[in-house]
């Protein structure tokens, strides 16, 4: 894997590569910041066009921009970690202490465990010591988790801290060799135990080498293993290794692990003017909150609150709620619970406008909770969006408005608010479901 940047003057962004890879901002002497991208050129442009606090620290000092192309996003993620470790750029460290970096740990034991951690550590109890190998630091925890999730399909591995009493969901999905099955009588047979031990160690070691950036060496080793197994006429095992080689080559070139970061151009003054006219408001609108509920027949119900400032999502103000009421599904009661709990936090600062997912019943429920609070009763407007025909219900307006009849800017804003709240609620609900499925009964 290449580790030398090709640098260009920052005025020549148009000549940058559109392929996946790693990029660097440099002043006259040193590298200031290192990042990775699925499209280097677009990501660099994004830094300049969406300049925030982070970018303002180093963009004015930047004289040149370097890049290294990779064959895939996974390789870009791994290379970024290696280069940050090598160069230790000042502005990668400014807003990230050691606890905010990520490392992949692999234990050295009979049945190794693969896991992600914020900090490297040693396990010692008396004379007993567990050795752990680490790879990192990685900046993007979400991309790292996605990478391990993809690699787990090719090389199933153990991830549990302690072996459960029975095989978990990962085993049934074909993602773990399940050393916990050693508790069963069939695996008391020494040959079966040794076979399982070798498989788990092999898979963990291969993943470790891939995460270190040794993709070519791993592929070479697998091909050698396949040839040796074929010589013994164990064609079933050879075919399995062949399938692993093909799957690995595919995921290392085609897997998408980075979130798309669209360039957002928002003329908030113009949008705000039209929004105030629709809502019959004189005061300025800056902060908008949107709410949604996610559940399956009332079970593991979750609520989300997303926040937009001047038309753009501000994720540091997002909040998630685990619904406390139980029984039959009741969206009205759930909305009431979420808003009641939210309004108890004035330190979060109240918005000028909130959007509820639902129709007139949800709107009235939200108004009832809002109007109980004298501090916000007349300082906040409420609207709700019904999925059927996208009807927008507004406070103090008897009939709904069809969203498609509103100006395009307002149409886009409302849908973006609704969709983001929906996405955030579902993501939390899925986490709770996965946690429940993986919890031994």
- The pLDDT tens digits for 389-436 are 889 999 888 889 998 889 888 988 998 899 888 888 887 766 766 665
| 341 and 385 share one domain | yes
| 83 and 135 share one domain | no
| pLDDT tens for each residue of 128-179 | 677 888 888 888 888 888 888 888 888 898 888 877 777 777 777 888 888 8
| pLDDT classification of 186: cutoffs 50, 70, 90 | low
Residue at 363 is within a domain: yes
User: CA 353, CA 331: separation in Å to the nearest integer?
Assistant: 20
User: CA 319, CA 303: separation in Å to the nearest integer?
Assistant: 9
Which domain CATH number covers 75? Answer: 3.40.1440.10
User: CA 357, CA 352: separation in Å to the nearest integer?
Assistant: 17
Q: Identify the pLDDT of residue 96.
A: 47
Alpha carbon distances (Å) from 83 to 89, 158, 181, 337: 9, 29, 41, 48
pLDDT tops 60 at residue 367: yes
Q: Identify the pLDDT of residue 50.
A: 72
**Coil, strand, or helix at residue 63?**
coil
Domain boundary among 75, 94, 113: 94
H-only helix segments in 184-234: 190-211, 215-231
Q: Identify the pLDDT of residue 369.
A: 93
Residue at 70 is within a domain: yes
Query: Cis omega (within 30 of 0) on the bond before 137?
Result: yes
| 50 and 144 share one domain | no
| 78 and 146 share one domain | no
| 385 and 280 share one domain | yes
pLDDT tops 80 at residue 329: no
E strands present in 281-336: 287-296, 299-309, 312-313, 319-322
| pLDDT classification of 259: cutoffs 50, 70, 90 | low
Residue at 231 is within a domain: no
| 40 and 153 share one domain | no
Q: Identify the pLDDT of residue 99.
A: 47
Question: Is 157 within 8 Å of 210 (Cβ atoms)?
Answer: no
E strands present in 70-148: 102-108, 114-117, 123-125, 128-138
From 194, 158, 150, 161, select the one nearest 179 (Cα to Cα): 158
For residues 123 and 211, the model is more confident at: 211
For residues 101 and 342, the model is more confident at: 342
| 187 and 282 share one domain | no
| 71 and 19 share one domain | yes
Q: Identify the pLDDT of residue 124.
A: 63
Domain boundary among 34, 65, 94: 94
| 175 and 288 share one domain | no
Residue at 257 is within a domain: no
| 51 and 166 share one domain | no
| 66 and 104 share one domain | no
| 430 and 385 share one domain | yes
Residue at 258 is within a domain: no
The rounded mean pLDDT for the chain is 83
User: CA 53, CA 50: separation in Å to the nearest integer?
Assistant: 10
| pLDDT tens for each residue of 44-91 | 988 887 766 567 778 888 999 999 998 889 999 999 988 988 888 888
Residue at 333 is within a domain: yes
pLDDT tops 50 at residue 269: yes
Domain boundary among 94, 122, 140: 94
Domain range for 84 = 6-94
Domain count, the chain: 3
> What is this structure's pTM?
0.56
């Amino acid at each position: 894997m290449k580790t030398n940047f090709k640098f260009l003057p920052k005025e020549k962004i148009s000549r940058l590569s559109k392929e996946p890879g790693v990029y660097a901002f440099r002043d006259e002497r040193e590298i200031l910041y290192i990042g990775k991208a699925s499209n280097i050129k677009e990501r660099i442009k994004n830094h300049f066009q969406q300049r925030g606090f982070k970018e303002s620290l180093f963009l004015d000092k930047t004289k040149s921009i370097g890049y290294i192309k990779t064959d895939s996003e996974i390789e870009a993620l791994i290379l970024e970690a290696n280069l940050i470790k090598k160069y230790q750029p000042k502005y990668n460290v400014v807003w990230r202490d050691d606890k905010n970096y990520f490392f992949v740990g692999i234990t050295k034991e009979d049945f190794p465990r693969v896991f992600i951690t914020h900090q490297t550590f040693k396990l010692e109890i008396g004379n007993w010591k567990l050795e752990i190998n680490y790879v990192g630091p990685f900046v993007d925890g979400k991309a790292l988790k996605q990478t391990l999730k993809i690699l787990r399909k090719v090389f199933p591995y153990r991830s549990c801290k302690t072996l459960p009493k029975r095989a978990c969901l990962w085993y049934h999905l074909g993602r773990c060799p399940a050393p916990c099955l050693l508790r069963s009588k069939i695996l008391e047979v020494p040959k079966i135990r040794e076979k399982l031990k070798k498989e788990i160690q092999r898979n963990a070691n291969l993943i470790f080498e891939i995460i270190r950036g040794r993709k070519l060496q791993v592929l070479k080793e697998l091909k050698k293993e396949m040839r040796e197994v074929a010589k013994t006429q164990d064609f079933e095992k050879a075919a399995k290794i062949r399938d692993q080689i093909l799957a690995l080559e595919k995921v290392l070139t085609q897997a998408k692990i980075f979130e798309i970061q669209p360039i957002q151009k928002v003329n908030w003054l113009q949008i705000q003017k039209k929004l105030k006219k629709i809502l019959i408001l004189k005061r300025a609108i800056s902060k908008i909150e949107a709410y949604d509920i996610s559940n399956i027949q009332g079970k593991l119900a979750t609520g989300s609150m997303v926040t937009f400032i001047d038309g753009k999502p501000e994720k540091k103000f997002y909040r998630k709620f685990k619904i406390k009421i139980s029984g039959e599904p009741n969206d009205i009661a759930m909305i009431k619970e979420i808003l009641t709990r939210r309004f108890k936090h004035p330190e979060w600062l109240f918005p000028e406008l909130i959007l509820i997912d639902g129709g007139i019943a949800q709107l009235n429920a939200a108004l009832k909770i809002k109007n109980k609070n004298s501090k916000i009763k007349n300082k906040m407007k409420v609207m709700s969006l019904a999925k059927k025909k996208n009807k927008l219900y507004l406070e103090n307006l008897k009939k709904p408005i069809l969203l498609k009849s509103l100006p395009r800017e307002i149409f886009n804003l409302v849908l973006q608010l609704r969709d983001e709240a929906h996405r955030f609620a579902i993501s939390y609900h899925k986490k709770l479901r996965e946690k429940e499925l993986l919890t031994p009964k």
